[in-house]
Amino acid sequence: MVKLYGPMLSLSASGTIAKTATFASWKGRAYARQRVIPANPQSDLQTSVRAMMKFLAQNWASMTAGEQASWVTAAAAAAVSPFNSFIAAGMTRWRQLAAPSAATPATEDGALQASGAATAIGGFHQATITFPIAAVNDGWGIAIERNTVDVYQGTFGAIVGVIATPAAAATYFNDIGLAADTYYYFWRRFTRAGKLDGAFAQGSLSAIVT
């Protein structure tokens, strides 16, 4: 990516030229980059990235004032907003197979959610997994892995969803757009401080999708 000043003989420019170069702006800074078309926008890796990005973006607003304030110093050092600092740090931890933290630095402690037995129900091109949360404690979310064999992968790209657990109630994950098959689901809970639980003591759940 190249920063620009007065690109294309103007104060700003946007769009793509000859399917080669893309001009845009980010945080008021004009830039140009090579146009890139993803080979597979629905790859396992991109699905995992989008799942965590969605979780982080949706949960920023519900974080405490203290949690949000903890990102101010890091944000100033990187010349970005506290929100963007939070997103970047969470995604960095996620790529390292670590849970995000609502505040910085991550202390990786706290009590995980207490939950009853999860269930999975298959349907037409979809499956629904239900987590009956009995007590939230310091819990924040659940990362869900899907596989077509009953084997836990434990890899970054295997995660298909990340859901929040804000209350002691049934929490659902709807896995849609699936081909007909039998799917196996595994999950890991994590706390607001970035503590990630072990490899699914509950075992796997299976769902037959038609």
- pLDDT tens profile 13-42: 666 666 566 667 665 566 666 666 655 556
Say yes or no: domain 40-210 is CATH 3.40.50.150: no
Whether residue 7 contacts residue 17, with contact meaning beta carbons closer than 8 Å, is answered with no
**What percent of the chain is predicted at pLDDT more than 70?**
78
**Residues 102-151: pLDDT tens digits?**
999 999 999 999 999 999 999 999 999 999 999 999 999 999 999 999 98
Q: What is the location of CATH 2.60.40.10 in the chain?
A: 40-210
The better pLDDT of the pair 30, 55 is held by: 55
Looking at residue 42, its pLDDT comes to: 64
Helix (H, G, I), strand (E, B) or coil at 113: coil
Whether the CB-CB separation of 209 and 180 falls below 8 Å is answered with yes
pLDDT tier at 154 (50, 70, 90 boundaries)? confident
Is the backbone of residue 9 left (phi > 0), alpha (psi -120 to 50) or beta?
left
Q: Is the pTM of this model over 0.75?
A: yes
3-12, 114-123, 170-179: the lowest-pLDDT one: 3-12
Residue with tokens 């239900």: 130
